[in-house]
Structure 1
Amino acid sequence: MYAIVVDGGRQYRVEPGMEVDIDFRDLSQGAEITFDKVLALSGSEGLKLGSPTVDGATVTASVIGPKKDKKIFIQKFRRRKHSKRRTGHRQIHTRVKIEKIGA
């Protein structure tokens, strides 16, 4: 059984027990999140597609905690001006564990 949910403009294919990194939310560990924008739901009776969402379908997840992404480097360079700059950025995500998919 799996579902396709929308969160923060991104679509995630999730299954029960799966860990997913979503956009950062300031929530404590163990808090519960409910995703109600479910685009598709697959179960024993087959695939159910929504238009645009499946009515009454929800996905429940619990928060594991914040997680930092890998560091990316940004370099700016102006030729023949002796001007260089290098900065870095690490995006923070919230890691959640999918508990159950309800139809």
Structure 2
Amino acid sequence: MYAVVATGGKQYKVQEGEILRVEKLAGDVGSDVTFDQVLMTSDGTDVALGAPLLEGAEVTGTIVEQDKSKKVLVFKYKRRKRFRKMQGHRQPYTAVKINTIKA
């Protein structure tokens, strides 16, 4: 069984037991999180589509990790002007282990 959920402005296809990295969510490691914006569910034979959301469907999971991703370097440069600017950015994320999908 799988579902499509929306969180952090993005859509993710999730299955039970997998670990999903999403935009940072509030909560500590080990706490439960519920995704109530479920767009679609499927059990292999039946597909349920929402318009835009499914009523009564939810996906629950447990927060496994709160961390930052790898550093992305932003380098600005203007030729012949001696202008150089380097800046780094690390996007925070939350790793969630999907426990149940309720359609």
Smaller-chain TM-score range?
over 0.9
* Alignment root-mean-square deviation, CA: 1.2
1:44 is displaced (CA, Å) by: 5.2
How far does the alpha carbon of each residue in 1:19-74 deviate from its partner, in whole angstroms, 9 at most, with x for none?
Answer: 01111124111111111111000015511111111111000010002132121111
Q: What TM-score does the superposition give when structure 1 sets the normalisation length?
A: 0.93
Could you tell me which runs of 5 or more consecutive residues in structure 2 were left unpaired when the two chains were aligned. Answer: none
**How many aligned residue pairs are there?**
103
Structure 1: which 5+ runs fail to align? none
Aligned runs of 1:77-88 on 2, under 5 Å?
Answer: 77-88=77-88
Calculate percent identity across the aligned residue pairs: 40
User: Structure 1 runs of 4+ off > 4 angstroms?
Assistant: none
Give, as a single letter, the amino acid of the residue that structure 2 aligns with 1:13: K
Provide the secondary structure at the position in 2 that maps to 1:25.
Answer: coil
TM-score by length of 2: 0.93
Cα distance in 2 between the residues matched to 1:44 and 1:5: 17
State the AA in 1 paired with 2:50: G
* Distance of 1:43 and 1:84 partners within structure 2: 54
